[in-house]
Structure 1
Amino acid sequence: MKKLILIMVLVYCKAFGQSQFADTVKISDLAPPSSPAFVLLDAAPSSIEKPATAKAFTASVINLINNNGGAAEFTPYWLVRRSNMTSFRYLGIKEDKQGELYQRSIASAKLISISLAVLNKNNTDEKAGKSVSNIVLGARTRLFQINKKSAIDTVIKYHRIIVDSLARLNSSIADVAIEYQLKMRDINDKNEIVKLTKERNNKIKALQAGHLKNTKSQSDTIRKFLTEKPAFTVDIAGAVNYAFDTTRLSSGRFDRVGAWANINWIPIRNDKEQRFLHTIGVLRYLTNDKLVIDKEHTEYHSYFDFGGKVEGEFKRFSIGFEYVRRLDITNKDLNSDRAAGVLNYRIADNVFLTGTFGKNFGLDNSLLTLFGLQFNFSNEKVVIKQ
């Protein structure tokens, strides 16, 4: 019986020693991604998006003046409580057969996000003069990611220091538990037991405080690297659109399908000042169900987009310019391009304002002016200490 009580005390103290000071970093502090649903219909404030961490839930509205539409995006992986999401798991750090640690570049692929948008926009039937409503389903994920090697090496080094400190902490907690178990073994006075229990817990808290103090520098460094932007990423996305005339629900059809990849590289960065220069390329394939020319003529069109974007990011504010060339595979006379400036401002931690000014796709050289808001509802956390 005494052995059973001792085991229970040790288990309790170990759990008490680890759970009371779990050091975490909120990944929700990072910028939310744009909805692939808006990108598919050329309605996104930016046709080329810089990489961002997928969120548990994000809501977006665009063209606030005309009230054109809105989208919601969620990441199933983050909707489940991830108590075991450590810094190693988040960064994709694994151990090989020789016991060496390395980063898996495809670790972020599991963070696939799903988006749904409703948008009133004249797309494939615009020449017929019809108003079209769209319901778009999209998905996106990170195919490939490379962090700075110095950052990964530092995380591995400091993680080992923290783990060793935790091992010593658990050993000390076990010693304290045994010490006070022996003291309370032959005591029947309840007041004395309460006194010794309080004394034991205070010693454990002191051990915890010492551990936190001794590993604060390492924890702060790991926290910084967890929120640091990767040096190189490849994101892939796709979406499908179901469109129907606003006057006839029976006219519904699958209208446009697309898939694309964004490739991002940060050649210039100052992580301390949060200043970055992003260079982003895009490759995209789109196909339309039909393009109504007039009442008697219908054409089917496919497109191939390619282009790039340069964006400067300065803490809460970013400004960039993008150019995308659209090749009409069916009719080269309909080739067009998009050239636009994009502004982003973080109003609050989870609220982002975007604005776009320039020329959109099409041969009519129409002026592109879009405004949007993004709301981030998430609480993703990564445990620094295991």
Structure 2
Amino acid sequence: MKKNYIILLFLIGTYWYAKAQTDVELSQFQMSNITSPAFQLLEETVTDVYTPENVKALALHVQNNFGESLAIEVAPYFFINTKSKNRTYYKYIGVTKENDVLKQNPFSGLNTTTLSFAYLKKDFKNIVGDNDHKTFSIGIRTTLLRFFDKEQIYNNAEKIADELLKIPSPPIQILSMEAGPKKDEAFKKFYLEQQKIEERFKPFQKTIKPIFKLDGALAYSNLFKENTTDGGTVRRFGSWLTGEFNLILNEDDEKSTTNNYMSVLVIARYIEDGFNMEIADTYTTSYYRDFGGKVNFEFGKFTFGYEYLKRNGSISSERSVGTISFALDKNISLTGGFGKDFQVTDNLLAIFGINWGLNLGNTSASVAK
């Protein structure tokens, strides 16, 4: 009898959890920030052309040389005014309905602003000698503009509301039933109904990307010349804009549990690079302008891409890299890249990374408009 009470309480809890689907845990979305500006400036990344769709409250990025490269990325939005009743999901993405008119705030992406900090011990190709150099960098990234398909967002919300109305009330009457086969059968039927609820919501839990977004980033880095504080430092600075266009490949496939996308990205970047040594103990600053793009294909947990960047300025070079990413779950992803890097010599790039997102504090927002 006690066992039946425990099961019933669990099922009732499941019911109210389903009813609470109107609360969206913003940081529970699929991990998509697979690198950080602090790492991008140091050119220790699988990809140089990317914009994250769903950031985490806190993300950790580790590249090839485990223990000698680490970046931490923080999204302040998830720690500020978390109990406000005005933090709705639709306001977070900038799509709301007022007086039966759908409106869009193109600047809502400022909510995705992140701060990143990186430490890297690396043998930079433009520095004389074979020693790895200790380097620290900071970066900031934000979405300056983003535009969603307003009709698609609202129609998805209406479908969720319709499904919520179909959820049956918890069978409190089971408590008054006498123990026996009939009561066990009632528990079984209700349990199966709760499983069906989750299945019904899956088609509406797909990630919806903006049609277009424009990201901006800044990063600054210091390198210790002799790996000591007395040896002095040299710096590297970068700023860049990245635009992204997204196209759903399976929009009419209602049975699919994910939205598959083709994304086209373009980037324009300016870099002042002090990590150059022409002769021993003589550092010079180079100036680069990078222009390029990337094509990405996302199929569920897998993402495949190819990027090409042309570098002009103090030197001319190019980067041509194929990339792959696999999401182990919503919080952990593995990334890899292979191809040609910017260096004139020893420019074969083969890099592997792990990205781990953490959800801290109360980061939920109501779906209600």
Normalised-by-shorter TM-score class: 0.7 to 0.9
Q: Whole-Å Cα distance in 2 between the matches of residues 289 and 381 of structure 1?
A: 43
State the Cα distance separating 1:315 from its structure 2 match: 0.5
Structure 1 residues 319 and 94, CA gap change in structure 2 (3 angstroms): closer
Question: 1:382 aligned to 2:365?
Answer: yes
Structure 1 residues 344 and 275, CA gap change in structure 2 (3 angstroms): same
Could you say which residue in structure 2 is the equivalent of 1:87? Answer: 89
**Aligned 8 A contact 2:307 2:320 in 1:** yes
**Aligned 8 A contact 2:248 2:259 in 1:** no
Q: Whole-Å Cα distance in 1 between the matches of residues 152 and 97 of structure 2?
A: 17
Question: 1:242 aligned to 2:226?
Answer: no
Q: Match for 2:302: what amino acid?
A: F
Q: Gaps (5+ residues) in structure 2?
A: 1-15, 166-196
Question: 1:72 aligned to 2:93?
Answer: no
Q: How does 1:170-209 map to 2 (within 5 A)?
A: none
Question: 1:351 aligned to 2:332?
Answer: yes
TM-score by length of 1: 0.71
Q: Whole-Å Cα distance in 1 between the matches of residues 158 and 142 of structure 2?
A: 29
Q: Whole-Å Cα distance in 2 between the matches of residues 368 and 290 of structure 1?
A: 19
Q: Whole-Å Cα distance in 1 between the matches of residues 18 and 343 of structure 2?
A: 59
Partner of 2:344, secondary structure, is: coil
Could you say which residue in structure 1 is the equivalent of 2:139? Answer: 138
Q: How does 1:325-364 map to 2 (within 5 A)?
A: 325-328=310-313, 331=314, 334-364=315-345
Could you say which residue in structure 1 is the equivalent of 2:179? Answer: none
Q: How does 1:1-386 map to 2 (within 5 A)?
A: 22-23=20-21, 24-27=23-26, 28-33=28-33, 34-64=35-65, 67-80=67-80, 81-84=82-85, 85-93=87-95, 100-123=101-124, 126-154=127-155, 224=205, 227-245=207-225, 247-270=227-250, 272=256, 273-289=258-274, 291-295=276-280, 297-328=282-313, 331=314, 334-364=315-345, 366-378=347-359, 380-385=363-368
Q: Match for 1:381: what amino acid?
A: S
User: How many percent identity over aligned positions?
Assistant: 25
**Aligned 8 A contact 1:222 1:384 in 2:** no
Structure 1 residues 100 and 267, CA gap change in structure 2 (3 angstroms): closer
Structure 1 residues 124 and 366, CA gap change in structure 2 (3 angstroms): closer
**Aligned 8 A contact 1:309 1:320 in 2:** yes
Q: Gaps (5+ residues) in structure 1?
A: 1-17, 166-215
**Aligned 8 A contact 1:158 1:222 in 2:** no
Partner of 1:348, secondary structure, is: coil
Q: Whole-Å Cα distance in 2 between the matches of residues 153 and 381 of structure 1?
A: 19
Q: Match for 1:87: what amino acid?
A: Y
Once the two structures are superposed, residues 322-370 of structure 1 have per-residue CA deviations (whole angstroms, 9 ceiling, x without a partner) of 1111112xx3xx2001111111111222111111111111211521011
Q: Whole-Å Cα distance in 2 between the matches of residues 54 and 108 of structure 1?
A: 11
Q: Whole-Å Cα distance in 1 between the matches of residues 157 and 125 of structure 2?
A: 52
**Aligned 8 A contact 2:156 2:204 in 1:** no
State the Cα distance separating 1:88 from its structure 2 match: 2.8
245-254 or 304-313: bigger deviation: 245-254
Q: Match for 2:47: what amino acid?
A: S
Partner of 1:385, secondary structure, is: coil
Once the two structures are superposed, residues 101-120 of structure 1 have per-residue CA deviations (whole angstroms, 9 ceiling, x without a partner) of 41111111132110111001
Which one has a bigger Cα radius of gyration? 1
122-131 or 277-286: bigger deviation: 122-131
Q: Match for 2:118: what amino acid?
A: A
Q: Whole-Å Cα distance in 2 between the matches of residues 348 and 221 of structure 1?
A: 16
**Aligned 8 A contact 2:103 2:150 in 1:** no
Q: Match for 2:69: what amino acid?
A: G
TM-score by length of 2: 0.74
Q: Answer 1 or 2: which has greater helix percent.
A: 1
Q: Match for 2:25: what amino acid?
A: K
Q: Whole-Å Cα distance in 2 between the matches of residues 312 and 235 of structure 1?
A: 19
RMSD: 3.2
Structure 1 residues 26 and 252, CA gap change in structure 2 (3 angstroms): farther
**Aligned 8 A contact 2:115 2:138 in 1:** yes
Structure 1 residues 35 and 82, CA gap change in structure 2 (3 angstroms): farther
123-132 or 53-62: bigger deviation: 123-132
Structure 1 residues 240 and 67, CA gap change in structure 2 (3 angstroms): same
Q: Whole-Å Cα distance in 1 between the matches of residues 234 and 116 of structure 2?
A: 17
Structure 1 residues 259 and 124, CA gap change in structure 2 (3 angstroms): farther
**Aligned 8 A contact 1:111 1:141 in 2:** yes
